[in-house]
Chain A
C-alpha cells in the first residue's frame, strides 16, 4: 500500500527525519509512535505531499507518490481546524469537492454520515456554535467523506471524551473492515494495542523499531512469569528451576516474579505443586508502553 524508502528531511539547523523506511500493508491499521518532536508529523506531512522530502521516495500502491494520489488519501491533522464562520454542511461539501468529489455526491454521502452519527441538526450550524468535541467529530467526517483508500489520522483520540472516542474507534475499525488502510499516530498505547496490527516507533528523527505488534511483543518477552500462591512463604535455597526477581506478600497470598533460565513453565509447576497451592501462573509479556519507554530511554 504505502512504501516509504529512505526518507531524509532536514530543516535549517536540525534533522527531522533521517533515513526512515516503512512498509504499510494494505488493510492494516498502522500505528506511528514516538515522543513529541520525533518527526511523526514531518513524516505524515510528506506522505500528504504538504512538504517534500530532501531525498528518498514514497510509493503508493506501487506508483511513485504524485498529485493524483491526493484524492485517495484522507488526512486529519493533529491541530484540528475548520472555518469558524462557515456552515458545517457547506464546509464539508467544500472540503470534499477539493478532494475531487462532485457537489451532489458529497451531499449524498454527507447525509449518510450525519444520519449515522446522529448529527443531522448540525448541517446549518456554524463551526463556532459547536463544542470542541463536536468539531472533532465533524472534522473526522470531513476526513473520510471522499472514501479514501488510505486514512491518515494524527492523534485521532485527543480531545474526545471517552464515549465519543469509543464511537470514533468503532468507525475507524469499520472503515478498516471495508478495506481502508489506516495510519495513525498516537501517544495512547492502549489504543495501539487494541487496534493496531503493526507499528513503527520513531525517536529523534530515526525509526528505531517496526513490525507487527505480536512479533514485537514476543521478541521482548524474556521468560518472565508471575506466580501467585497460597500457603507459607517459600524460602529458596537455589535448587528451584528459576531465579526470583521480586517477592511480594499480599493479604492472604504471595506473589513472585520469576525468570526462567532455559526451563519451562511445567518445570516451575512441578517444583511448586508439592509445596504450595497455586493460584496463578502467567507469562509476563511486556506492554508496548514498556517497550516504548525502554527503547526511547535506550536511545537517550
Chain B
C-alpha cells in the first residue's frame, strides 16, 4: 500500500512540475480573461453607440414629415430650412445628421444622409427601417388598405419554456441545456483521451527505458499500473480544480473591473412554497430583455453543481475504465506508433457516442438509444453528459453509475492480466491472439 502511494506521488509530482501542465492550467483562465476583456471592450464601445443623435429631416416629398418615431438614442426633427442653411447648421452641431429626402425618393440613391462624422450602420439601418415602414404604410393607404387593422392582425409569438417539476413550475431553457450537453460531451471526451493517453505514454516510456524490470523487482506490476493510473488521474482532477478556481477568480475580478454598473440588471424574483398555487403573474421586467441578459438568465436555469458532480463522477469512472485499457495497450507495444491497431477498437465506442451526441442524442435525450448508451459503461460518460442537463431519472443515473463501477473494475482486471505479461515482452510484434494468451497466463 505504502509503495502504491510512493508511485502515485512520483507520477503526480513529475507531471505537475512539467512546464506543459503549468501552461495548460493558466491557458484556460487566460482565455476566459480574454473573453471578458472583449466583452468589456464591446461595452465600452456601446457608450458611443448609446450617444444621442439628432436627425434633421429635410423632407421634400412630404410623405415622411412627422412620421418618424423617436428612439432612445435617435431623435428626429423636421427641418424646413433651405438646404444650404441646413447644411451650414450641421457644422455647428457635430452629432447631428441631416436626412435629405427628395420628392422622388424612390429613385436609386435619391435619399442622402449628411453628417460631420460617418453615420454608423445601426443608425442608417434604423432610419431605413422606419422609412420603409412609412413608405409601405403610405402605399397601403393609397391602395385603400386599413393599416390599423393590418397591424392588429400581425402577431408576435415567442414561446417561453417551462419545466414541470415536483417543486412546481420553473423556468427552463432548452438552449442552455443544449449548450451544456454539448459542452459536457466534448469536455469529457477530450479529457478521457488526454489523460488516458498520458497513462499509455507513461507505460511505454517505462517499457522502452527498460526501467520496468527494476521497478517490478520492487513492486507488483498491478501496484505500478494502479499507482500510475491514480497519479495521472489526480493530475487531471487537479487541473480541473485549478481551472474552476482560477476561472471563478478571473470571473469575479473581471466582473468588478470591467463590468462595473454594466452587468445584467437584477431581476426580481418571486418565490412560492411547494403546494402553494403558483402566482398568476410573474413580475415582468419593464424593459425588454437584451439578448445578453436573456442568456445569463437561461444559464441560471442549469444546475451547475449537479452537472459538475456528474462530470466528476463520469470523469473518474470513465477515466479508470479507459486508462486501464490504455495501460494494457501501452504494455503490449514497444513504441507509440504501434499502438494504432489496439487503440482503434478501444476508442470506437467513445467516438461513436461522441459523433452521435451532436446529431441524435442532443435532440432525443430521452430516447431508448440514449438510455442504452448511458447504461453501457464504454459509452456512458459521453452519453450521460449529453443527457444530464435535460434531466435524467434518478434510477437511470444510479443504474448507469453502478454499471460504470462494475465496468472499470472489469477492465482493470482484464488490463492488469495483460499488463503484467506485456511489460516484460520486448521486441515482439503483438497480435490479438497473443494478448489473449497473456490474459490466460498463470501468475
Q: Is the CB of A50 within 8 A of B209?
A: no
With a CB–CB cut-off of 8 A, which chain A residues contact B201?
Answer: none
Given A12-B437, A51-B424, A86-B14, A81-B210 contact (CB < 8 Å): yes
Q: Is the CB of A83 within 8 A of B209?
A: yes
Q: Is the CB of B218 within 8 A of A81?
A: no
Q: Is the CB of B214 within 8 A of A81?
A: yes
How far apart are the CA atoms of A101 and B102 in the complex, in Å?
97
Min Cβ gap B417→A in Å is: 13
Contact with A along B358-378 (1 / 0, CB 8 A): 000000000000000000000
Given A70-B217, A94-B6, A45-B424 contact (CB < 8 Å): yes
B211 proximal to A (CB < 8 A): yes
Q: Is the CB of B212 within 8 A of A81?
A: yes
Of B7, B209, B212, B443, most A-chain CB atoms within 10 Å: B209
How far apart are the CA atoms of A97 and B214 in the complex, in Å?
13
B142 proximal to A (CB < 8 A): no
B242 proximal to A (CB < 8 A): no
- B194-218, CB < 8 A from A: 205-206, 209-218
Min Cβ gap A31→B in Å is: 20
With a CB–CB cut-off of 8 A, which chain B residues contact A83?
Answer: 14, 205-206, 209, 211
Q: Is the CB of B219 within 8 A of A98?
A: yes
B277 proximal to A (CB < 8 A): no
How far apart are the CA atoms of A95 and B219 in the complex, in Å?
10
Q: Is the CB of A75 within 8 A of B424?
A: no
Q: Is the CB of A77 within 8 A of B210?
A: yes
Q: Is the CB of A98 within 8 A of B215?
A: yes
How far apart are the CA atoms of A12 and B426 in the complex, in Å?
16
- B5-57, CB < 8 A from A: 6-7, 10, 14
Contact with A along B212-240 (1 / 0, CB 8 A): 11111111000000000000000000000
How far apart are the CA atoms of A82 and B205 in the complex, in Å?
10
Nearest residue in B to A48 (C-beta to C-beta)?
B217
A84 proximal to B (CB < 8 A): yes
With a CB–CB cut-off of 8 A, which chain B residues contact A81?
Answer: 206, 209-214
Q: Is the CB of B211 within 8 A of A50?
A: no
Q: Is the CB of A82 within 8 A of B216?
A: no
Q: Is the CB of A95 within 8 A of B209?
A: no
How far apart are the CA atoms of A80 and B213 in the complex, in Å?
9
A99 proximal to B (CB < 8 A): yes
Q: Is the CB of A98 within 8 A of B443?
A: no
Of A50, A76, A77, A95, most B-chain CB atoms within 10 Å: A50
Q: Is the CB of B424 within 8 A of A50?
A: yes
Chain B contact-residue range equals 20 to 34
Min Cβ gap A127→B in Å is: 9
Q: Is the CB of B218 within 8 A of A98?
A: yes
How far apart are the CA atoms of A49 and B206 in the complex, in Å?
19
With a CB–CB cut-off of 8 A, which chain A residues contact B7?
Answer: 98
B69 proximal to A (CB < 8 A): no
Nearest residue in B to A98 (C-beta to C-beta)?
B218
Min Cβ gap B435→A in Å is: 12
How far apart are the CA atoms of A75 and B210 in the complex, in Å?
13
Nearest residue in A to B224 (C-beta to C-beta)?
A98
Nearest residue in B to A127 (C-beta to C-beta)?
B209
Of A48, A51, A70, A76, most B-chain CB atoms within 10 Å: A51
A52 proximal to B (CB < 8 A): yes
With a CB–CB cut-off of 8 A, which chain A residues contact B213?
Answer: 45, 50, 75, 77, 79, 81
A142 proximal to B (CB < 8 A): yes
How far apart are the CA atoms of A45 and B212 in the complex, in Å?
12
How far apart are the CA atoms of A77 and B423 in the complex, in Å?
14
With a CB–CB cut-off of 8 A, which chain A residues contact B206?
Answer: 81, 83
Min Cβ gap A90→B in Å is: 9
How far apart are the CA atoms of A198 and B61 in the complex, in Å?
121
B3 proximal to A (CB < 8 A): yes
How far apart are the CA atoms of A73 and B214 in the complex, in Å?
11
Of A49, A52, A82, A98, most B-chain CB atoms within 10 Å: A98
A174 proximal to B (CB < 8 A): no
Which of B214, B219, B443 has a CB less than 8 Å from the CB of A75?
B214
Q: Is the CB of B3 within 8 A of A98?
A: yes
Nearest residue in A to B14 (C-beta to C-beta)?
A86
B167 proximal to A (CB < 8 A): no
With a CB–CB cut-off of 8 A, which chain A residues contact B442?
Answer: 52, 54
Nearest residue in A to B9 (C-beta to C-beta)?
A94
Q: Is the CB of B218 within 8 A of A70?
A: yes
Contact with B along A38-74 (1 / 0, CB 8 A): 0000000100111110100000000000000010010
Given contacts A73-B217, A81-B211, A99-B218, 11 further A-B contacts (CB under 8 A): A50-B216, A50-B217, A51-B443, A52-B443, A54-B442, A81-B212, A81-B213, A83-B211, A84-B205, A86-B14, A139-B214
- Residues of B in contact with A (beta carbons under 8 Å apart): 3, 6-7, 10, 14, 205-206, 209-219, 424, 426, 437, 441-443
**Interchain residue pairs with CB less than 8 A apart (6):** A52-B442, A73-B217, A75-B214, A81-B209, A81-B210, A81-B214
